[in-house]
Amino acid sequence: MNESNESDSRWGHQSGTPAERTARERNAILSRWPIVLAWAAAGLACGCFYAVFGTPQFRSDAIVQLEEKLSKGANEFDELTGGTAMETPADAEIEIMRSRTLLGSVVKQLSLDVEAAPRWFPVFGSALARRWKSRDLAPPVLGLSRFAWGGERISLRALTVPLQYESAELRLVAEGDGRYVLYTRDGVQLLKGQVGKRARGAGFEVSVDELYARPGTQFVVRKLAVDDAVEEIKSRLIAREKGRKTGIIRLELTGRDPVRVTKTLDALAVAYVRQNEERRSEVARRTLEFVDSQLPEIKGRLEGAEQALNKYRSRYGSVDVSLEARAAIDRAVDLEKAKTELQLHEAEVHERFTDDSPSAATVREKRRQLVGEQENIERRMKVLPDQDLHSVRLTRDVSVANELYVLLLGKAQELRISKSGAIGNVRVVDHALEPRKKYAPSTLLSALVGLIAGSALGVGVARRARPARPGERDHDAIERAVGAPVFTAIPYSEVQSVARRRQRKAKAVARPLAAIHPQDAAVEGVRSLRTGLYLGFEQQADRIISIGGPCSDVGKSFIAANLACVFADAGEKVLLIDGDLRKGTLHEHFGVEASPGLTEILQGQGELVAAVRYGAAQGVDLLPSGEPVVNSSELLMGPTFAELLAVAARHYGMVIIDTPPILAVTDAALIARHASATVLVFRDGHHSRAEIAMTAKRYRQTGAAIAGCVLNLVGDQAERYGPTRLHLYRSEEERKAL
């Protein structure tokens, strides 16, 4: 079966266009508005319940600034590297703040891997405890002293458990006078302890700083693995940059304990600043180690160069150096100094960046340039005379070694100062403050979410729900089950419903719909039934019609009353008989009394002429049911009823009998065997195929002639909200009446 057929089967409709199926589905949902309303109310109640009894969440925030400050030593190398030292992006700093290393240090510092809380009564116990404002202990409800009801406090300094008990729930029970006992969740005793003293036993170690509770009150304690505690904090931590490239990072942390949230966030901010300073101090330390390792070598080179120059001068005397040679010496000194500075900067770059980073590539390019320029100067110096060349080289070596030695001494002193008082490029702008109001759950938001969720679930349930009595609506299937044609489908009449309500309210005389609104679509359906019956009555001498159905509330009386009226409109003289001797209601459609009626005639207490209400409607005489009786079957089986029908058939062109439901009592079968034709009335979509077949079978067992059937109240509830309201078929007066 394809998807559309499945949908049609679900809603009990025949197949149609997608728009029609959508409209039917929408109308079916609207018809089940109590389901949607009930689910929406349940969702709203759940939202309000959560807002009142849900565990409150508190949020605190802190502001950290990344200052736009050059890295240590960047000024000296600005010209060499072609710009300032690269600052760490805010996204990278955020990841550092959320790293396991940093959060792990906070967890260990504040013992966040240890959890301890009173054991509250399930569902609403914690809410009651939060509403207890006194410093004294709240009295236990219903004597349940093992639960905490308000005012209980506990503080654990340390908790050590075996590996298999990490993250496991333990129970700490107060004993009074600061004593306590630690149990597993299953009730196995682990150790006994005293507040302020460290207790050990069975591989467990507990140190309780504070315990305020009545004897017997239980507390839930848990030792988490550090990694689990870190992940739990990460799930509640939000770190984001305010704006774009502002360097301002906002940290937000949510939790149940406002004090713990504030301390955790503050410790995280302080730990991040400290780590930033330590990172910079570490860079200075490593650079200082490099400088200290180079100083002895440079000092040895300086002493060797000075000795060589003094030896040369003692042998050859002083040599006047030309201006060009002096310029070459000065430039060589500058290049060697720049090369040494570049080596120091390269050490810093390797500490902060990888070899593939842009800064490392810039350093390598600058070194290549320096080496090339040194080689160029060396070639220029080779054109000097040998004696001058040797003197220039010795002088250059002394100058270079001296400059480098002085540079490294100054750099070493600078790095020692930097290492001892390193200042990072981050600072805490706003420290965390303890929140005074809860962040969640919000009463308004919880109620709104509950209402929306409940409504959505209600719509889903309404879409999937089948009718209380899943009914057949396929005309072909009904005809096969009955073994007779479906004469017509009579739509639900809002005009009839409004008219009946007005008649009851004003206590006015009731009249059938065909008499007050003959153009109503329901009356047109009854006329279609009349046409079908006329065609079958062409060869019939007696025209006695029995109107039956499987159960009550299918509209048999409505069909009988209006069928009598439309037959009368066609010129027939009609007698309408209410054959339901137990609960007859046909007299209500004409505003007459029920007694005397058929019951009195069958009991021999009245005559037909006296019991008939002549002119109940134009061309229609009515024989009501009379006083209700319990032995109706016996009365209908007697000869009086058959004689009554014979008399009626001789004096009226059409006799219509409204009968009780066939599946409830046998009266309908007793009446139908005297009728020329029986019309079965089914309420659209309210009967299963088995029920329809059983109804037809009951009638045929008594020899009743089933002429056909009618589907009544088509569009009732499920479709009267949609396009099938049949307004196009109603007159202006009818629409105004609605």
Query: Is residue 719 very low, low, confident or very high in pLDDT (cuts 50, 70, 90)?
Result: very low
Choose among 429, 102, 409, 414: nearest CA to 278.
Answer: 102
**Distance between CA atoms of residues 330 and 320, nearest Å:** 15
Average pLDDT value for residue range 427-435: 89
Q: What is the mean pLDDT of the chain?
A: 79
Distance between CA atoms of 647 and 634, rounded to whole angstroms?
A: 20
Residue 348 has pLDDT above 50, yes or no: yes
**Single-letter amino acid, residue 470:** P
The answer as to whether 449 is a domain residue is no
* Average pLDDT of the residues in 497-525: 78
Position 73 scores a pLDDT of: 42
Query: Where is the domain boundary, 259, 277, 304?
Result: 259
Name the amino acid, one letter, at 398: V
Rounded Cα–Cα distance for residues 707 and 690 (Å): 19
Mean pLDDT on 349-364: 71
Q: Is residue 47 part of a domain?
A: no
Q: DSSP labels for 453-505? A: HHHHHHHHHHHHPPPSS-----HHHHHHHHTS-EEEEEEP-HHHHHHHHHHHH
- Would you place residue 174 in the very low, low, confident or very high pLDDT band (cuts 50, 70, 90)? very high
The mean per-residue pLDDT over the stretch 515-536 comes to 86
- Position 261 confidence tier, pLDDT thresholds 50, 70, 90: very high
Give the structural domain span for 732. Answer: 482-737
Report yes or no on 129 lying in a domain: yes
- 585-604 mean pLDDT: 87
* DSSP classification of residue 262: H
Quick check: 3 pLDDT over 50? no
Q: Does the pLDDT of residue 421 top 90, yes or no?
A: no
What is the rounded CA–CA span in Å between residue 73 and residue 288? 12
Which amino acid type is present at position 272? Answer: Y
- Is the predicted pLDDT of residue 538 greater than 70, yes or no? no
| pLDDT > 80? residue 452 | yes
Final residue in a domain of this structure, among 223, 239, 259:
259
Instruction: Give percent above pLDDT 70 in the chain.
Output: 75
**pLDDT confidence band for 214 (50 / 70 / 90):** very high
- On whether the CB atoms of residues 520 and 630 are closer than 8 A, the answer is no
pLDDT number for residue 470: 57
Residue identified by tokens 């020329």 is 676
On the question of pLDDT at 733 being above 70, the answer is no
Q: Kindly state whether residue 40 falls inside one of the protein's structural domains.
A: no
Residue 404 lies in a domain: no
More confident residue, 325 or 690: 690
**Preceding peptide of 441 cis, ω within 30°:** yes
**Whole-number percent of the chain with pLDDT over 90:** 27
Mean pLDDT value of segment 44-52: 88
Q: For residue 205, what pLDDT band results from cuts at 50, 70 and 90? A: very high
Judge whether residue 7 has pLDDT over 50: no
| Burial of 593 (C-beta count, 10 Å sphere; 0-12/13-18/19+) | exposed
Q: In this predicted structure, what is the pLDDT of residue 154?
A: 93
In terms of pLDDT, which residue wins out, 6 or 393? 393
pLDDT at 702: 85
What was the pLDDT predicted at 20? 54
At residue 220 the predicted structure's pLDDT band, cuts being 50, 70 and 90, is very high
Task: Please tell me the predicted confidence (pLDDT) of residue 273.
Answer: 87
Last residue of a domain, one of 233, 259, 285: 259
497 vs 702, higher pLDDT: 702
Under 8 Å CB-to-CB from 213, ≥6 apart: which residues? 118, 137, 148, 152, 153, 154, 174, 219
- The whole-number pLDDT of residue 462 equals 81
The angle at the Cα of 304, spanning 313 to 369, to the nearest 5 degrees, equals 100
DSSP string, 702-715: TT--EEEEEEEEET
Give a yes or no: residue 227 inside a domain: yes
pLDDT at 242: 87
Q: Is the pLDDT of residue 682 over 70?
A: yes
Q: Is the pLDDT of residue 368 over 90?
A: no
Structure confidence at residue 373 as a pLDDT band (50, 70, 90)? confident
When comparing pLDDT for 40 and 275, which is higher? 40
Regarding predicted confidence, which is higher, 669 or 297? 669
Say what the alpha-carbon torsion angle 452, 457, 458, 461 is, to the nearest 10 degrees: 170
Digit-coded pLDDT (tens) for 602-651: 888 888 888 899 988 888 999 998 899 888 888 888 889 889 998 988 88
Contact assessment for residue 455 and residue 36, using Cβ atoms and an 8 Å cutoff? yes
Q: Which two tokens stand for residue 664?
A: 């409830």
The total domain count for the chain is 2
First-to-last CA distance in the chain? Answer: 41
3-state secondary structure 94-128: HHHHCCHHHHHHHHHHHCCCEEEEECECCCCHHHH
Q: Give residue 29's pLDDT band: very low, low, confident or very high (50, 70, 90).
A: confident
Q: Is the bond preceding 518 in cis, omega lying within 30 degrees of 0?
A: no
Residue 100 lies in a domain: yes
pTM of this prediction? Answer: 0.52
Binning pLDDT at 50, 70 and 90, where does residue 253 land?
A: very high
User: Residues 76-133: pLDDT tens digits?
Assistant: 433 333 334 444 578 888 888 899 999 999 999 998 999 999 999 988 888 888 888 8
Distance CA 656, CA 544 (A): 6
Q: Are strands 574-578 and 677-683 parallel, antiparallel or unpaired?
A: unpaired
Asked if residue 586 is part of any domain, the answer here is: yes
pLDDT tens per residue, range 76-86: 433 333 334 44
DSSP 624-672: ---S--S-HHHHHHSHHHHHHHHHHHHH-SEEEEE---TTT-SHHHHHH
**HEC states along 542-571?**
CCEEEEECCCCCCCHHHHHHHHHHHHHHCC
Write the CATH number for 665.
Answer: 3.40.50.300
Asked whether the beta carbons of 187 and 169 are under 8 A apart, the reply is no
CA 701 to chain centroid, in Å, comes to 58
Distance CA 553, CA 535 (A): 28
Segment 54-67 shows an average pLDDT of: 88
Segment 18-41 shows an average pLDDT of: 75
Q: Where are the beta strands (DSSP E) in 330-463?
A: 426-430
585 pLDDT band, cuts 50/70/90, is confident
Higher local confidence (pLDDT), 389 or 4:
389
Q: pLDDT band at residue 204, thresholds of 50, 70 and 90?
A: very high
pLDDT value of position 532: 84
Q: What is the dihedral of CA 720, 721, 726, 727, to 10 degrees?
A: 140
Q: Which amino acid is at 221?
A: V
Q: Average pLDDT in the 351-358 region?
A: 69
Q: Which tens digits make up the pLDDT trace of 459-479? A: 888 877 655 445 777 888 888
User: Distance between CA 350 and CA 354 in Å, rounded?
Assistant: 6
In this predicted structure, what is the pLDDT of residue 292?
Answer: 73
pLDDT reading at 75 higher than 50: no
The pLDDT score that the predictor gives to residue 12 is: 36
In the predicted model, what is the mean pLDDT of residues 150-177?
92
Going across the sheet that includes 198-201, the strands are 153-160, 204-212, 198-201
Per-residue pLDDT of 269-319, as tens digits, reads 999 988 887 777 666 666 777 677 777 877 777 677 767 767 766 665 554
Helix pair 90-97, 258-316: axis angle to 10 deg = 120
**Whether the predicted pLDDT of 376 surpasses 50:** yes
Inter-residue contact 59 to 261 (CB < 8 Å)? yes
Q: What helix, strand, coil percent values describe the chain, rounded to 5?
A: 50, 15, 30
Q: Residue 73 and residue 419: Cα distance in Å, rounded?
A: 13
